[in-house]
Amino acid sequence: DFQLQREYVNRNSAAHTATVYEQKKNVPQTHLDAAEHGYFRTSGDFNHVEIDSDADLDRLRHVEDEYARLRKHLPQTSKIPDLRFRKTGRHKALGTYHPHVDNIAVDPRSPAAFLHEFVHHVDHTVDGKNISSGDEFRPILRQAQKALAVSDSPQVKAKSDYYRTPTEVLSRTAEVYFAWKGAGTSLNGTTEALMADPAYATLEPMKDQIISFWDATMERLGAEPLR
């Protein structure tokens, strides 16, 4: 687990990812203003917000409205991250988190990646040990890793280390928790969409454990559990 966590940090701190967490040049004033005066920034939940010049501002305003409804259910730490809506396709992901600069990057074309990356931020900035390495999460982590190990999915087998990494398991459990609880925003996937992915489907037998874990964890970190 330690080695997998370290590889995650090293991979997401590599120099080739720099353009995702550094301010993009030549952003139109309309998008600079939308970033500075939009709800993600004015809520105080993010130190800096960037919106790529290609982002659809009308769609993003809808996402902001959804975030305003969802934010009371999001766990908090003493650290405030940066948030960038940037195309992340070259990273072969819909979002990325860079722990060394506490930066969340979400592809504006697919905001459902937001919750997964936000939970990475929480995991890496909580006081003390990572949540994903803690005693409370370990029973779920071990069951999830065992289920992944026996999966016959080519997708899971091809990226076994990635899927078994504790912080990745934690973020996936958060996604299914919000889906099972009916959070219903574009900031997270639906139950149907998540369970169509074999890595997420392995979590279904742990549903009660995952819900109990996140109910308790959210209260501990100042969030309102979903009812």
Span 184-216, pLDDT tens digits: 899 999 999 999 999 999 999 999 999 999 999
How many degrees, rounded to 5, is the angle at CA 16 between CA 94 and CA 165?
Answer: 55
For residue 139, give Cα distances in angstroms to 5, 101, 108, 165: 17, 30, 35, 14
> Is it the case that residue 16 has pLDDT exceeding 90?
no
> Is it the case that residue 220 has pLDDT exceeding 50?
yes
- Between CA 121 and CA 103 the distance in angstroms is 8
Higher local confidence (pLDDT), 226 or 43: 43
pTM of the model: 0.91
Higher local confidence (pLDDT), 121 or 5: 121
Backbone angles phi, psi at 86, to 5 degrees: -135, 145
